[in-house]
Structure 1
């Protein structure tokens, strides 16, 4: 929302309001509001209502659930009886149609606002943040029925090789047995399908209002999710592909359909991309790059790795450890506590789920050093050989 990396913003945990860390920054919705757009949001956008940015909105609402079953499921998972991750309920099959869930209510808020806008003649920026598929996974029965028991049997995993213990700390527990793991997978998949249905409601309204010729739609997620892989990893707190890779779809006015950008992109690229599509110049301080030229096929985006970071709690040292990871070409490099708590290097062409850590291979020193150099110089790498890891990483393939 700020277009800045955590290293720049200072926002490493979501309890820190972005406005507190960046009092003078122009946030994404605020930018369009300043340009005369009606700006409205509903749901999980600046994480939650407690850290919402009032300067960004003409209207904002994060409606709580009114569905008694979802209320009970949320309380059972996060209520006063204990903390998440202690084996408490992760999913619930709703007997209702889901209209009274948090997401159902927030989507309907945006649908109402969308329908009101054409009559005003004012351009609009609307954002809806869906809570699902965050826990607890609640969805009507018809979405669970899409994944009958036995249809999501976990696949056998390859053996992990030299993966440091810090990389395998899990956020959740309680699904160790294959049958309960499959049940949890059903809950996750059902909630994703419920989310897909809500997205479909928004797109159907764009069709009904005939707004596609003047509207751009961006679909993104804030993180991925482990489903018991890597020997029992769950949820989002890892540096692996399953947690750090997210969907990013941009569709609408001025964007050819069905085109994929074949290089790594980052969520901080959304801000400058929307600014350019709106015909504006970007505000100062943005660290992303516009993807418009690449999406329109006018030019290839200049290669740049994509980086992420995550905090883990080191049980042995009783302290937080910062993990930073960068993906470049077919490589992923990860370091914990600057490398002191562990380093990882994965060749994703033949190890896409990242099970075989090659950081200890003396033949791959060039690739290891390239990843470390990039992270050392992030978030704003200066031109120079140390910050052009593609050439080094490509050369290292010969040593596989």
Structure 2
């Protein structure tokens, strides 16, 4: 470990422009350029000139705006581990004693298979994954080994038509439920692709989905600012109740339900202009839909080293809230609702634009990366 630390200090923790050691604060804070090179904040600002608007990477000459740079989270974590004088034994002890980070086990899909994917969900009983995308057949079902078992949801098919899928979940009884932005509906299918239920009335723009342990489905309505609970017999195609459980939400999209406690977390988008100019907010509710916590991008930025723009959320088997962050291209654990928020990056490299997240029954982490049109599965050990 001492040799590894020495090599890290020589090759990683110095700015290659000014050759000063990176630091967690001020002008020495490491910043990512869009091209992938890392400079300290002082050099970034110096290269941007007096107006501090645009700069050119000194290594590859790619131009960018200062607003396109972001904190380099892996380096910040390494600096914490190394400490001001080199290797930090106490930090190393925490790292050695804590859970091992997940490692990439399998990658599915790709450009030739998935087109602009929008959602991913796991069936806890069978291990199958349902992926919603914009290809000819909107839903791909992958088996535990990664093989494609089924494709369905072709647009125009009278029996299983899906016009534009926005979200997907899988109920405990094995039904694939999809929000369709094309006709503003919620549709349910079995794993063979047979449509069993379509709810086409009452929604303005249904978006996110989360299945409860009781086989109910939580649905966000981004345009109406609402959260609904659907109770149905999906096998018989009978809708029993569509209940409004929360209103006056701000453009709610992603939603997740904790399998153990029944807690619900919703992602609100506070502005719709894009990650560069807007922020997101997480609202956490108890099983009886009492608000127990919330935090937006600005508040998280006061606690953590970078702005978090959340695109997807899930609960792990311990009941911790896990989110995707497209600003740092990472997956981050924010802790349990009662301790929210902590900051524990789970995946900090290898992702391009993570927009979907789920866990399998064996606690494998599944990330949907729309940047390279793939599903990436990480083992928990």
Specify the TM-score bucket, using the shorter chain as the normaliser.
Answer: under 0.3
Q: If the length of structure 2 is used for normalisation, what is the TM-score?
A: 0.26
Taking structure 1 as the reference length, the TM-score comes to 0.26
Q: Which structure dedicates a bigger proportion of its chain to helix?
A: 1
